[in-house]
Amino acid sequence: MTGTQHFVFALVEDFTHLVFSCAVDPLRIANLVSGQDLYSWSFGSANGQTATSSNGSVTLVHHGFDSLPECDRLFVLSGIHVRRQDCRSLMAALRRKRMHGTRIGALCSGAYILAKAGFLDGMRAAIHWEFHDSFMEEFPDVHLVRNVFVADERHITASGGTATADLILHLIERDHGYDLSVAVADQMVYNAVRDATAAQKVSLQSRNGIRNRHLTRAIRIMRDRLDSPVSPSVIARDLGVSTRQLERLFGKYLNTSPKKFYMEMRLERARHLLLQTEMSVTEVSMACGFESPGHFSRVYRTSFGVTPMLQRGRLS
């Protein structure tokens, strides 16, 4: 891709500063590493002067929501209190931009605003796990996924935190090649870059776990038995519930099945071991409870699109 791409970030009051940094700094580093002005960026807010993040820092902005400039990409960035914000002027601006063909995306809880504006109906979308339950209730026409980001829809979304860096690195790779994205990640000392298929981790202390003790205990059993997995029926028996009840819990709170969630946990651990240790593929497969290296390789490739050997080679 030739020419400078301009990104505009619409900062909603109380936005998450970590996400902001993970969005802007990879663009800056891409320019630095390449020696070219590949990207430029500017910021917008409701008052057109400043935007305050949830950590209290104040960012000077270039535009009001009613005067956002032409751009190549427009990202909505908000925080945990997005529902408290009056986003009507922003949604009106987004609708105008969409009519003119601007590529619009969302970071962290920004998907809530796009969904509220009706942009995400029928599409896959990612949002921070803390919003999953309420989001699915409020927007049943949006196909919410637990992925760290979704980049293959008309409106791309990232779930927040360092998932934003994963998304921006993905865009840099798509625009300017794999070598540049790796060079940027190296400058960030960010070696465990995730692709879109990676699932958000759900902490045992998360809101979902606290709300249901059986779910918390089930996830703990899975994490304790990654190297020697047990069946959902055994987990259910240990919890004193039926297998069907366990299936319902995972479906209700995590929008998945126990078997699929368990496999994703094992594959995520395998990916981290491949990228962050010198363990052989055979050792990794055993540590993550796969019956053979061949079976591990097939399942890994189906999930991540590369074999374990190629995964390690891409970031070596």
Nearest to 88 by CA among 55, 54, 113, 70: 113
User: 50-89 pLDDT, tens per residue?
Assistant: 999 999 999 999 999 999 999 999 999 999 899 899 999 9
What pLDDT band is residue 316 in, cutting at 50, 70 and 90? very low
Rg (CA), the chain: 21
Q: At 209, list the tokens.
A: 């776990």
Q: If you average pLDDT over residues 23-35, what whole number do you get?
A: 96
User: 206-247 pLDDT, tens per residue?
Assistant: 444 446 789 889 998 998 899 999 999 999 999 999 999 999
Of 199 and 110, the structure prediction assigns the larger pLDDT to 110
| pLDDT value at 197 more than 80 | no
Judge contact between 44 and 63, C-beta under 8 A.
yes
Q: Using N-to-C axis directions, what is the helix angle for 178-187 and 163-176, rounded to 10°?
A: 140
DSSP string, 228-251: S---HHHHHHHHTS-HHHHHHHHH
- The span from the CA of 202 to the CA of 214, in Å, is 15
User: 97-156 pLDDT, tens per residue?
Assistant: 999 999 999 999 999 999 999 999 999 999 988 787 678 878 999 998 888 899 989 999
What pLDDT band is residue 202 in, cutting at 50, 70 and 90? low
- Contacts for 120 with CB less than 8 Å, ≥ 6 apart: 111, 114, 139, 142, 155, 157
What percent of the chain has a predicted confidence (pLDDT) above 90?
69
User: 243-278 pLDDT, tens per residue?
Assistant: 999 999 999 888 889 999 999 999 988 987 887 678
| pLDDT value at 200 more than 90 | no
What pLDDT band is residue 203 in, cutting at 50, 70 and 90? low
pLDDT at 10: 98
E strand or H helix at 281, and its extent?
A: helix 281-287
pLDDT at 190: 76
Q: Which domains does the chain have, with CATH numbers?
A: 5-187 (3.40.50.880), 202-316 (1.10.10.60)
